[in-house]
Structure 1
């Protein structure tokens, strides 16, 4: 069996060409905007989708120069090719200037953890947001899984526990015109 090759056409046309979402003609040409890939499990549950659509995405609207690359915006049917879904997420991550990861739950979602690892390996700083007050660590000096927290900090990013803290970090990063 030959491996499936995925090209830019795997990314929905709207993502590639909509001026509100896509503002770079190549990895080396930047506009005044910065894009953030949103890594999260929020699309899996009704309560997660409510938080995503009624709290988190409106929060990001406060930032004129921030473009959120939200994989949940392009929902794919459950019976869709999982390789195509993963390839689309990788393409979106490759377009991002940094990543924002939602870390709530008894443990960090495995897909979110994988996206954090990919972002770190590709030089993207990561902001990790964890509202959840439960312990999700495997070491006394970490907030979440030791390796996931390491990737976030190694990337030049940070962990925050509120949208107010995230707003502060985003304003600093947007003012500094964060680049890879």
Structure 2
């Protein structure tokens, strides 16, 4: 099984280490992880981020068996 991991933890260096060393290994004990943070955009404009978002949705639709969502905000996005 493949799981797409949806989380905000790849945005900041302060959470990236925890994401890589704790969260992903925990999930990998059970399923193959599709990590969206391994693909970084090559530009910084809105078109780049829209293309990246479309690629992520395509990955979820065609490759993932499930989505692991980390919702730690109040209220969740």
Deviations 1:55-113 (CA, angstroms, capped at 9, x unpaired): 011112323xx1111101112246151221111111111121111100112332x3xxx
Q: Give 2:6's aligned residue.
A: 39
| Cross-structure match for 1:74 | 39
| Cα distance in 2 for residues equivalent to 1:46 and 1:77 | 19
1:14-64: CA deviation from partner (whole Å, max 9, x where unpaired): xxxxxxxxxxxxxxxxxxxx111111111111222122111011112323x
Of the two, which has the highest radius of gyration? 1
Structure 2: how far apart are the matches of 1:53 and 1:96? 19
User: Under a length normalisation based on structure 1, what TM-score does the superposition of the two structures give?
Assistant: 0.38
Q: 1:122-161 alignment to 2 at 5 Å?
A: none
- The number of residue pairs the alignment matches comes to 74
Gap runs ≥5 in structure 1: 1-33, 111-180
CA contact (8 A) 2:41 2:49 kept: no
What is the alpha-carbon distance in structure 1 between the residues aligned to residue 12 and residue 43 of structure 2? 13
Structure-2 separation of matches of 1:62 and 1:84:
31
**Greater relative contact order, per chain length (Cα 8 Å cut-off, separation 6+):** 2
Hey, what does 1:106 align to over in structure 2?
Answer: 74
Structure 2: gaps (5+ residues): none
TM-score (norm 2): 0.80
CA RMSD of aligned residues (A): 1.7
Misfit runs of 4+, over 6 Å: none
- 3-state SS of the aligned residue for 2:68? strand
Conservation of the 8 A alpha-carbon contact between 2:34 and 2:64: yes
